[in-house]
Structure 1
Amino acid sequence: MAKQALIVVDYSYDFVAPDGKLTCGEPGQAIDDFIAERMEAFDAESDEIFIMMDLHYENDDYHPESKLFPPHNIEGTSGRELYGKVKEVYDSIKEHENVHFLDKRRYDSFFGTPLDSLLRERGIKDIEIVGVCTDICVLHTAVSAYNKGYNTTIPEKGVASFNPAGHEFALEHFKNVLGVKVE
């Protein structure tokens, strides 16, 4: 069987916890079990898992998101820690050679990161994307995956947003514009 990769996008305390700095709230918390189960399944299958984590710095005024959102996912803060059961699973598998934690500085998990190179080195063409927010970082990552030729699956139970209309738009966009398999 060909290897595949699970890409977990921005499932951090700041984006998911009730008191997170830029939380998507209950919708994000509701996908915790599903993402944790997917991580366990991918690790058990010896497929690759990539945790893609938004990274900002204190007084990050030059970053374009600084004009759009309050400070979040600041380096060295608990806001950048994985949330809930996802954190528990990650802590139990993080030493496995098929589990990777990569920082990202833009919505798109491929932009400015080694993600594409790591996938190609491993001969991976099939990816599954889960995480938050459906209509921001997950969407931009899916667009980039499409442009790079990956076969992409996005489980509806594995993505969430603070914006219900944006969430629905993104799911339709994945299916109808990017040809993503939405399960």
Structure 2
Amino acid sequence: MAKALIIVDVQNDFCEGGSLAVTGGADLATEITELLSEATDFDFIVATQDWHIDPGTHFSETPDYVTSWPVHCVAGSKGAALHRNLDTEDIDAYFRKGKFDAAYSGFDGLLAPEDEVAVGEREAHESVDEDGDAPTSLDDWLRENDVDDVVIVGIATDHCVRATALDAINAGYNTTVLRDYVAGVDDDASEEALEELEDAGVELK
């Protein structure tokens, strides 16, 4: 029975200075780094990334900030890289999502190639690996590593954190969201999202 920390979308475009910045994103990256230095009970640490190539109506020149958004986290761009305040040394795997759709949940993510650096420019992940097999999903990877418990932190509370936590609990994982280690787009919507998660069986700490 193993426990994994899932770090959701702590990327440059979601932090101050990015194209879709969340207030407090850079500070949150620092706080998660401090959590990583103190925590001893995680068997695995994984990170998710928005990794958009052509996500259709998810990108808009006139976004409604509900289902459509400004261009962000384009695959291989600086904006898609993990924020420099996040220490990636102990991250075991990276999962990219949203190449051709919105993909809010980390469980839509596919495993990134092992030989690629944790931050900076990357090539877009192919639909099959070099052996011709389908790429590994986050759910596949967690199950292969006998993970039963997941703890979720990251950006944004009311969007990708919410979606990832709902998918985790629906997939049968014991799921926890750390309230002090998430940041949201909208304060009211974030509180509503946390209430929804608690009602769904997610533990809030």
Q: Please give the TM-score of this superposition, normalised by the length of structure 1.
A: 0.84
Pairwise CA distance, 1:32: 2.3
**Aligned residue number for residue 7 of structure 1:** 6
Alignment of 1:123-142 (within 5 A): 123-142=146-165
1:179 and 2:175 are equivalent in the alignment: no
Between the aligned residues of both structures, percent identity stands at: 33
The unaligned stretches of length 5 or more in structure 2 are: 61-67, 111-136
SS in 1 for 2:21: coil
Structure 1 Cα separation of the partners of residues 158 and 142 of structure 2: 23
Pairwise CA distance, 1:72: 0.3
Range moving further from structure 2, 157-166 or 29-38: 29-38
SS in 1 for 2:69: coil
SS in 1 for 2:200: coil
Instruction: List 4+ stretches of structure 1 deviating above 6 A.
Output: none
Pairwise CA distance, 1:33: 2.8
Question: Is residue 45–residue 90 contact of structure 2 (8 Å, CA) maintained in 1?
Answer: no
Q: Higher helix share goes to which structure?
A: 1
Could you tell me which amino acid in structure 2 is paired with residue 144 of structure 1?
D
How far does the alpha carbon of each residue in 1:116-150 deviate from its partner, in whole angstroms, 9 at most, with x for none?
A: 01111111110001001101011111111111011
Aligned length: 168
SS in 1 for 2:22: coil
Alignment of 1:26-45 (within 5 A): 26=24, 28-41=25-38
Question: Is residue 134–residue 160 contact of structure 1 (8 Å, CA) maintained in 2?
Answer: yes
Residue of 97, 110, 128 corresponding to 2:107: 110
Could you tell me which amino acid in structure 2 is paired with residue 103 of structure 1?
R
Structure 2 Cα separation of the partners of residues 108 and 147 of structure 1: 12
**Aligned residue number for residue 23 of structure 2:** 25
The unaligned stretches of length 5 or more in structure 1 are: none
How far does the alpha carbon of each residue in 1:8-40 deviate from its partner, in whole angstroms, 9 at most, with x for none?
A: 111000001x210001123x2332232112333
**Aligned residue number for residue 63 of structure 1:** 56
Could you tell me which amino acid in structure 1 is paired with residue 93 of structure 2?
H
SS in 1 for 2:4: strand
CA RMSD of aligned residues (A): 1.7
Question: Is residue 24–residue 162 contact of structure 1 (8 Å, CA) maintained in 2?
Answer: yes
Structure 2 Cα separation of the partners of residues 123 and 148 of structure 1: 14
SS in 2 for 1:170: helix
Structure 2 Cα separation of the partners of residues 126 and 63 of structure 1: 34
Could you tell me which amino acid in structure 2 is paired with residue 146 of structure 1?
I
Question: Is residue 3–residue 41 contact of structure 2 (8 Å, CA) maintained in 1?
Answer: no
**Aligned residue number for residue 147 of structure 1:** 170
**Aligned residue number for residue 126 of structure 2:** none
SS in 2 for 1:5: strand
Structure 1 Cα separation of the partners of residues 41 and 185 of structure 2: 32
**Shift in alpha-carbon separation, 1:120–1:135, aligned structure 2, 3 A:** same
Q: Please give the TM-score of this superposition, normalised by the length of structure 2.
A: 0.76
Pairwise CA distance, 1:46: 6.1
